[in-house]
C-alpha cells in the first residue's frame, strides 16, 4: 500500500516539475504546461480517492498518538 501511494505521489511531483519546465521553456506558446498540470490534478484526485477507498475497505487504519 505504501509503495502505491509513494509511486503516485512521485508521479504528481514529476508532473509538477515538467509543468514548471514547460512553463520556462515554452513561455506560454504551447499547451504543454496546462496538460502537465491537468495530469497533476488528476493524479492528486485519484490518490485522494484511493486513500479514501483503502480506508473504507479497511486496508489502512489511522494512527493515534496518545
Please measure the distance between the N-terminal and C-terminal CA atoms of the chain and give it in whole angstroms.
25
Query: At 20, is the pLDDT very low, low, confident or very high (cuts 50, 70, 90)?
Result: very high
Residues 41, 15 contacting (CB under 8 angstroms): no
* Percentage of the chain lying above the pLDDT 90 cut: 77
Range of the domain at 9: 2-57
Least confident interval from 8-12, 45-49, 59-63: 59-63
Residue 24 lies inside a defined structural domain of this protein: yes
Residue 63 lies inside a defined structural domain of this protein: no
Residue 8 lies inside a defined structural domain of this protein: yes
Query: At 41, is the pLDDT very low, low, confident or very high (cuts 50, 70, 90)?
Result: very high
Contacts of 41 (CB under 8 A, 6+ apart): none
Quote the CA–CA distance of 14 and 39 in Å, as a whole number: 10
Q: Please tell me whether residue 31 adopts helix, strand or coil conformation.
A: coil
- For the chain, the domain total comes to 1
Amino acid at each position: 500500500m505504501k509503495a502505491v501511494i509513494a509511486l503516485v505521489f512521485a508521479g504528481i511531483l514529476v508532473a509538477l516539475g515538467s509543468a514548471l519546465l514547460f512553463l520556462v521553456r515554452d513561455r506560454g506558446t504551447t499547451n504543454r504546461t496546462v496538460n502537465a498540470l491537468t495530469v497533476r490534478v488528476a493524479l492528486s484526485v485519484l490518490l485522494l480517492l484511493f486513500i479514501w477507498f483503502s480506508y473504507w475497505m479497511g486496508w489502512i487504519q489511522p494512527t493515534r498518538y496518545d
